[in-house]
Structure 1
Amino acid sequence: MEKDKILERWAEYIHKLFDDNRKHDHNVMKRNFAGRPIMKDEVRAAIRKMKAGKATGPDGVAVEMMEALKEYGVEKLTPFLNEIYDTGEIPTDISRSVFIAHPKKPGATECELHRTISLMSHVTKILLRVVMIRIRNKIKPEIADEQYGFLEGKGTTNAIYTLGTLIQRAIEVQKDVYLCVIVYT
């Protein structure tokens, strides 16, 4: 129950929880293509999609602050995000996260009986949202209509509903259903 030992145990637990066993190469590759810069409209759209009332990361910048700045905020944020996008170097103050543990049940003392959340910079979330939307737009044409997952309206619940409807219809018309599921892990 010593404070140092508790902190040491939490650090060990968090490290184990988020360790991915991949080779860590901390040398950031610089962009070597002439992609289009991040546009103000992309930043504006990303800010609009952010949820209000969320806790800030270590930088203390809330999404409501950026919304309150309106066009001035977009004007200042866009070149900053483009600098990160062009160089691949994320400033330390927006790349750090703070981990917070919430007990799943009152009086929990074991690390495993806590939910761990990470508070990260909203500026980083905006950059990630812009990049994610760009990636989605690139891969969307490559995904077959029959493939489910990772796209809006194409989640596993949609697939389960479609499969259930298909099986129901087959039962009604007294036909056999053959099913093959491929899970890529």
Structure 2
Amino acid sequence: MNGEIIIDKEKILERWAEYIRELFKDDRKDHNIMKNNFAGPPIMKEEVEADINKMKHGKATGPDNISVELINALEDFGIGKVTHLLNEIYDTGQIPTNLSKSIFIALPKKPGATECELH
């Protein structure tokens, strides 16, 4: 901003929202709809399984609370469900709203950080 330290909680949240919007600025008109101008083979279960196996374990979950460990524990059933979801997105071009949400946790890079950029 202009160097002033914000102490009001609502204003802090507004500033973070502004910072994140600018950081991830997206000028597309409708960013949740993909243009499907091509026909290709469906996503295969083996591809999904290989990619899930490459993912790091022990990471925090997103808004859906689904971890890599949970998908792995569901074995063939879980891989099948994820494959079905990905093919549905691929075929329709519609990305579910809750898959386009993110949660940000501001962790300071240095003690006493007061600017968004230093988190």
Normalised-by-shorter TM-score class? 0.7 to 0.9
Letter in structure 2 aligned against 1:2: D
* 1:55 alignment counterpart: 60
8 Å CA contact 2:34–2:94 kept in 1: the answer is no
User: Which structure: greater strand fraction?
Assistant: 1
* 2:112 alignment counterpart: 107
User: Which structure: greater helix fraction?
Assistant: 1
* 2:24 alignment counterpart: 18
Mark the runs of 5 or more structure 2 residues left unpaired by the alignment. 1-6
CA offsets 1:125-176 (integer angstroms, 9 cap, x no match): xxxxxxxxxxxxxxxxxxxxxxxxxxxxxxxxxxxxxxxxxxxxxxxxxxxx
The Cα of 1:29 is off from its aligned counterpart by 4.2
Find the aligned partners of 2:102 and 2:112 in 1 and give their Cα distance: 26
Q: Taking structure 2 as the reference length, what is the TM-score of the superposition?
A: 0.84
8 Å CA contact 1:30–1:87 kept in 2: the answer is no
- Relative to structure 1, the CA distance from residue 85 to residue 72 in structure 2 (aligned partners, 3 Å threshold; closer, same or farther) is same
* 1:125 alignment counterpart: none
Q: Taking structure 1 as the reference length, what is the TM-score of the superposition?
A: 0.56
CA offsets 1:34-64 (integer angstroms, 9 cap, x no match): 2000001101101111110111111111010
Find the aligned partners of 2:34 and 2:66 in 1 and give their Cα distance: 28
RMSD, aligned α-carbons:
1.6
Q: List, as ranges, runs of 4+ consecutive aligned residues in structure 1 with deviation greater than 3 Å.
A: none
* 1:7 alignment counterpart: 13
| Larger radius of gyration between Structure 1 and Structure 2 | 1
Which of residues 59, 68, 72 in structure 2 aligns to 1:67?
72
